Amino acid sequence: MCGVSLRIELHRHIVWPLRGGRAPSCWACNHPREELFPARPDNVLRRGAGELSYNEFYWQYMHHNWPVIITDVSTDWQCQQWTSSNVDEGDDNANANTGLAGAHINFDYLRRRIGDCPVPVADCNATYFNSHAKAELNFHDYLSRWQARIEGEAEVNSNVARMKTDDNLYLKDWHLAAQMPSYDFYQVPKYFASDWLNEQLMAEKRDDYRFVYMGPKDSWTSYHSDVFGSFSWSTNIVGHKKWLIMPPGEELKLSDRLGNLPFSINEQLLDEHKVHYFTINQTANEAVFVPSGWYHQVWNLSDTISINHNWFNACNVPMVWRNLLSNLKAVRKEISDCQQMDNFEAHCQTMLRASFGINYLDFIELLEFISARRLAALADDTRSSSTTTKFLLFDTYKMSDYHVQHDLECLRELLTLMLDDPSVQQSPAQLSERCQRLLSQLAAQKSRI
């Protein structure tokens, strides 16, 4: 979508109509909210991209940390060419696996369009320390093994005397967008454009959280919640996925005496433990929004390709902070016998980054980056009398002035919360001073409004 900019409008908080039930405290804050909240529906709703506005999605789903399925989101994506049903009749790939059980995967086009680069795969038939065993294959080798599996299943179904392959390899967490930045094979839907995590990582050309998943029928992802306590979104390009997903806290009903959660779940297990959960059947051209802290397990019921992001923003960054704090406490407990060593706090931060993925320094740098961008945008708007930002999110989306102000207000609240925590005072890298300096900058900006 190069050369095109779209405006994402955020307005003041709208109220979701009450459907029985009462308003609980907001999950992301330490004080009760006055806004109304809906009673839990019996299923995860489907909303069409043509009728769901950005503003409605932001307040009704992201702000309330509630899942939704958004339909018709990937119709115009270039990666629709990864499916054989979208090949032009004159294309020399028109013979892509016609008549096979997996004819919807255009293996020839994928080989021609994407080089034979190394890709990460998980073996769904093997476990290694409570996760699927990991390996690395060349992409074209992976496609060949996947195609052989499909052909083997087709011949078994046709009573041909040939054993189907035992491979159940799931290509996961592939940074294709970062590896091929000139290949615009998808566009981030507007609903997911406010993405502080990838906004920073992409600008600084660091490893991001934009992924491609490709997997055969019966491949699956084990029971988990997403990294950092982030949101995630997953759009099926082709195929059918089944999700079991549950609100935060329900996973505790499944923990053993040591607090360990199961590697895999099913409906029988959830029913036996009286877990409140939802089942999602996701088909092609649908995006599933997974809120923060919602544990889930996912199965590919057919050969499937999806685009996935992890991200956080003003709605859920308080939860990321709480998870960061909780993991630091766990690290300190783990090495509590070393408290008298020199640079104990610095060692804790090193271990925190290794176990959680980020530490306090990474977190404050992200907050500084987001603040600087939005403060600069407001300064530009003041000079030009514009009501949208000059920078683009994912090279496409401009933020409205209210959206920028809302981000900054949430940053002020978060920094105030952080400065009240003793671990920030004890942290190396002058974290307390940096938080105070940033809060002062944001307070000065607010006073000029």
| Residue of 285, 298, 290 lying closest to 82 (CA atoms) | 285
Q: pTM of the prediction?
A: 0.88
| Distance from C-alpha of 125 to C-alpha of 132, rounded to nearest angstrom | 8
Other beta carbons less than 10 A from residue 196's beta carbon: 22
- Number of alpha carbons in the 13 Å side-chain half-sphere of residue 176: 25
| Distance from C-alpha of 44 to C-alpha of 307, rounded to nearest angstrom | 20
Bridge-partner residues for 281, per DSSP? 242
306 φ/ψ angles, rounded to the nearest 5 degrees: -140, 155
Residue 13: its pLDDT value, please? Answer: 58
**What does each C-alpha distance from 144 to 171, 261, 295 come to in angstroms?**
13, 35, 33
Residue 384: its pLDDT value, please? Answer: 56
Is the Cβ–Cβ distance between 351 and 357 less than 8 Å?
no
Residue 364: its pLDDT value, please? Answer: 97
Residue 383: its pLDDT value, please? Answer: 59
Three-state secondary-structure class, residue 134: strand
Residue 160: its pLDDT value, please? Answer: 47
Residue 446: its pLDDT value, please? Answer: 79
Residue 312: its pLDDT value, please? Answer: 97
Residue 247, amino acid: P
Other beta carbons less than 10 A from residue 137's beta carbon: 17
Q: pLDDT tens-digit profile of 354-379?
A: 999 999 999 999 999 999 999 998 88
Bridge-partner residues for 47, per DSSP? 70
Helix 344-356, helix 360-384: angle, nearest 10: 80
Between vectors from CA 102 to CA 99 and to CA 105, what angle results, nearest 5°?
110
Pairing of strands 241-245, 6-8: unpaired
| Distance from C-alpha of 406 to C-alpha of 83, rounded to nearest angstrom | 40
Residue length, the chain? 449
| Residue of 15, 73, 104, 87 lying closest to 189 (CA atoms) | 73
Give exposure, 14-40, as e/b (b: 16+ Cβ within 10 Å): eebeeeeeeeeebbbeeeebeeebeee
Is the Cβ–Cβ distance between 194 and 403 less than 8 Å?
yes
Instruction: Rounding to the nearest 10 degrees, give the CA dihedral for residues 317, 321, 323, 327.
Output: 150
Instruction: Please tell me what DSSP assigns to residue 37.
Output: -
Interacting residues of 49 by C-beta distance below 8 A, sequence separation 6+: 70, 71, 72, 73, 189
Is the Cβ–Cβ distance between 10 and 406 less than 8 Å?
yes
Residue 57: its pLDDT value, please? Answer: 96
| Distance from C-alpha of 267 to C-alpha of 402, rounded to nearest angstrom | 43
pLDDT < 70: residue spans in the chain = 1-6, 12-41, 85-103, 154-165, 381-390, 449
Other beta carbons less than 10 A from residue 100's beta carbon: 18
DSSP string computed for 7-24: EE---SPPPPPP-SS---
Percent helix, percent strand, percent coil in the chain, to nearest 5: 40, 20, 40
